[in-house]
């Protein structure tokens, strides 16, 4: 068992996210890996991450093999789901403390913090799903 304070885990700034072979700029976002198990070519098999998003910060369009559930613990965010063929915004929702967001494997998505003064934060649980398990 590992028991720890999230404050003791190093916060790393995220600068880029890849999508369809191109790197996109990430602004004002940090990540703390609270737990991580397994490593495959598509990322850890399981993980719990703590993200902060500065006022005006953004995570651009991206996708990944693992599924994820985000739980908002501070501030508010605008989350986007994109059409995988056109990369146009297919859905936009404002989420706040107590809301959760599920993102399916390979679904293009992104988010922004619309506040000009308040940080947003969320927990993000990720898990790779394999057909043969």
Mean pLDDT of 62-81: 96
Among 65, 77, 4, smallest CA distance to 34 is for 4
Mean pLDDT of the chain: 93
Rounded Cα distance between 92 and 51, Å, is 20
Is residue 51 over pLDDT 60? yes
Residue ranges of domains in the chain, CATH in brackets: 10-127 (2.60.120.10)
What residues have CB less than 8 Å from 65, skipping those under 6 apart?
42, 43, 105, 106, 128
pLDDT score, position 44: 78
Rounded Cα distance between 43 and 82, Å, is 22
Rounded Cα distance between 103 and 75, Å, is 20
pLDDT score, position 91: 97
pLDDT band at residue 131 under the 50/70/90 scheme: low
104-123: pLDDT as tens digits? 999 999 999 999 999 999 99
């Amino acid at each position: 068992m590992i028991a720890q304070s999230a404050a003791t885990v190093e916060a790393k700034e995220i600068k880029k996210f890849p999508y369809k072979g191109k790197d996109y700029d990430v602004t004002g976002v940090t990540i703390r890996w609270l737990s991580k198990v397994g490593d495959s070519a598509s990322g850890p098999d399981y993980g719990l991450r703590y993200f902060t998003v500065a006022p005006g910060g953004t995570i651009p369009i991206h996708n990944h093999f693992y599924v994820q559930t985000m739980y908002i613990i501070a501030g508010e965010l605008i989350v986007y789901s994109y059409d995988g063929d056109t990369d146009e915004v297919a859905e936009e929702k404002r989420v706040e403390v107590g809301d959760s967001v599920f993102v399916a494997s390979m679904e293009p998505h992104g988010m922004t913090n619309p506040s000009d003064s308040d940080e947003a934060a969320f927990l993000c649980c990720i898990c790779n799903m394999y057909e043969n398990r």
